Amino acid sequence: MRTEQSHPMSVTSRFAIFWSFTAVAAYGQQVQAIGNIFKPRATPAESVYHLSLLVLAVCAAIFIVVAGLLTYALVRFRRKCGDHREPAQVYGSDRIEIAWTVIPILIVFVLTMATARIVSATLDKPTPSDALKITVVGHQWWWEVRYPAFRIVTANEVHVPVSTPTNPAITFLGLESADVAHSFWIPQLAGKTDLIPNHPNRMWIDPKQEGTFLGNCAEYCGTQHANMRLRVIVQSRADFAKWVAGQQQNAMTDVHIETGRSQFLSLSCVNCHTVSGTAAAGTFGPDLTHLMSRDTLAAGVVPNSVKNLREWIKDPDTVKPGSLMPNMQLTTEQLDEVVTYLSSLK
């Protein structure tokens, strides 16, 4: 009887241990995936990094002093064997009270001033006339990225030029929201800035290293908040210019995918999505003109491949539960044609 009772317990605890490890492993991947604040690659992130080192150092010093005094008191004033007397009671020492009031005030003052200096230096940065200006609009649960000067609209990926000492390049980001509050966060490039409905915000970055920097929405915005991922692709000026030229082209028109194209245009996909150069001009969902030039689908949930694109269109909910893209209930034939067309949009 006893063994029977204890058996399910041990299975449960084994199960719990397994899930804890899985959760820790998944969390570890996620942390790696979104970049490390201790490896800053742009001025705003460097400022945050230096400030965090100061705060950590001050907190570590406080911890060492407090824990040291506590340990000393525990060891030094332990009750001796057979000694039942109450220790000497100390009340009201002006000197001690002044010390523990003034020192914390000074510490808080120093931290406040250091923070205020960095916040104002970051916020008050003047916009140079030649700076690249981008508008990022948060949607449940993806990012719309507009380059008004180039007449480009893309999604979930922000391409920017690299900033070098001889050729500095600053990108200003106007941040807006189409629905609820979101927060733009690329840990290696800058701190978090909220995207609030009817309240445009702004931030800037000057990435000093080429590469892909990952981030995530940092303000809870609904079911798929954690899957509202974002990537900033920092390129050399030449590569960036090439990317801009490619994105400015109208969508591909290949005679081999004409059936797929007319199939796509006949469906209600066009009410939410734009494909430039066609009748599809919806703006509720991401612009699909150069869909296959992007690394991921569904805001970073799966790699962008023909197979994943097919799964995504077939039933968006299996890829991203709660997604606002509806299941269009396409027949296998319709699905094949639409996928053939969309996967041609390079």
Of 145 and 170, nearer to ligand CUA (C-beta) is 145
* Nearest distance, CB of residue 137 and ligand CUA, angstroms: 11
Which residue number, 196 or 270, has a Cβ lying nearer to ligand CUA? 196
Nearest to ligand CUA of 221, 298 (CB atom): 221
Residues that bind ligand CUA in the complex, under the rule CB under 6 A = 138, 141, 182, 217, 219-221, 225, 228
Which of 139, 146 has the CB closer to ligand CUA?
139
Task: Pick between residue 228 and residue 297 the one whose CB is nearest to ligand CUA.
Answer: 228
Which is nearest to 50 in space by CA: 98, 122, 106, 100?
Answer: 122
- Nearest distance from C-beta of residue 178 to ligand CUA, angstroms: 11
Nearer to ligand CUA, 51 or 181 (CB): 181
As a whole number of angstroms, the distance between CA 339 and CA 261 comes to: 10
Shortest Cβ 15–ligand CUA spacing (Å): 31
Min dist CB 30 to ligand CUA, Å, is 14
State the minimum distance, in angstroms, from the CB of residue 253 to ligand CUA: 35
In the bound state with ligand CUA, the residue whose beta carbon lies nearer, of 42 and 221, is: 221
CB of 317 to ligand CUA, least distance (A): 18
Q: Specify the residue, 198 or 329, whose C-beta has the smaller distance to ligand CUA.
A: 198
- Minimum distance, C-beta of residue 135 to ligand CUA, in the bound complex (Å): 16
Residue among 141 and 264 whose Cβ is closer to ligand CUA: 141
How far apart are CB 142 and ligand CUA at their closest, in Å?
9
Tokens of 16: 């719990």
Q: Apex CA 185: angle with CA 47 and CA 242, to 5°? A: 95
Least separation in angstroms between residue 218's CB and ligand CUA is 7
**Residue type at position 289:** T
Measuring CA to CA, how many Å separate 36 from each of 89, 187, 190, 205?
A: 50, 6, 11, 16
* Inter-residue contact 171 to 162 (CB < 8 Å): no
